Amino acid sequence: MTAIGTATGRQLPVVVTSPVAVWFEDGWTVTKRNLVKIKRSPDMLVFAVLQPIMFVLLFSQVYGGAIQVRGTDYTQFLMAGIFAQTVVFGATFSGSAMAQDLKEGLIDRFRTLPMSASAVLVGRTNSDLVLNGISMVIMMATGLAVGWRVQSAPHEFLAGVGLLLLFSYAFSWVMALLGMSVKTPEVINNASFMILFPLTFISNAFVPSETMPLVLRVFAEWNPVSSLVQAARGLFGNVGTAPVPDVWTMQHPVLTVLVGIAVMLAVFVPWAVNKYTRISAK
């Protein structure tokens, strides 16, 4: 804090804010703006959780009797896959929102404000993290209703939830970059599904990878979503006696996911910020 003089000779304090504090304040302001938007449009949250609920009911109640998993009940096997699918699909909101903001010219209005260039992206990904957290609570309540149970210690359960949300946050930066790379918001859905469907369905989320043909099995075993699912199953105590593929990513799923998160953040955060800076400078 410094002081400046006035005409009467009095000294008035002037608060000097650090750049880091300004960056946090800008990011928090944009985060609040996005959360208020969700509050005013609750249908966003409704549709965000309806699809995973439908998958839970479809696979557990319709297909569950026909799908057998060695060493565990299918509902226990399924839920970690549903959780992973929910947070990965929830990350697409960053991409669609950025594409929509670009179309509506909101980025041009942000450019006129004295704010950090990355604040818009930080606020966008932060609000998606909150939305994914709410979705996770609803998904877990749905899982409990159909017979899913946590078989691990409380700290392992919390670690599993944290790992899922951290992965979703890192993946939000990937989708934010994709949203700024497409020309229209209408394209983002098709572009994101081309990425998300192979990642989620060619994985161990819904069926064991050992049942797949060789090429698909190899893809599934090295798929980061499979590692996320396997890590969540282990931390929630839902593995049972089911065999685990003798592949490094499946034998060390938590470490694999943490490495993947670090790589996504290291690559896509600066890439997305640079992309946003170039777009807002036009």
State residue 14's pLDDT score.
Answer: 47
State residue 2's pLDDT score.
Answer: 45
The pTM of the full predicted model, rounded to 2 decimals, is: 0.85
pLDDT tens sequence across 136-153 = 888 899 889 888 999 999
Q: What mean pLDDT value characterizes the chain? A: 82
pLDDT tens sequence across 80-92 = 999 998 889 888 8
Q: Helix and strand tally (H, E) in the chain?
A: 12, 2
The share of the chain scoring above pLDDT 70, in percent, equals 81
State residue 16's pLDDT score.
Answer: 44
The Cα–Cα gap between 159 and 144 comes to 19
Q: Output phi, psi for 14, to 5 deg.
A: -120, 120
Q: Are 127 and 34 a contacting pair, CB within 8 Å?
A: yes
Q: Are 99 and 275 a contacting pair, CB within 8 Å?
A: no
| Region of residue 41 (phi > 0: left; psi between -120 and 50: alpha; otherwise: beta) | beta
The Cα–Cα gap between 139 and 16 comes to 45
Who has greater pLDDT, 182 or 256? Answer: 256
pLDDT tens sequence across 163-220 = 999 999 999 999 888 888 887 777 887 788 888 888 999 999 998 988 899 999 999 9
State residue 110's pLDDT score.
Answer: 65
Q: What's the mean pLDDT in 221-240? A: 93
Alpha carbon 51 to its chain centroid, in Å, reads: 16
State residue 165's pLDDT score.
Answer: 94
DSSP string, 91-146: THHHHHHHHHHHHHTHHHHHHTSS--TTHHHHHHHHHHHHHHHHHHHHHHHHHHHT
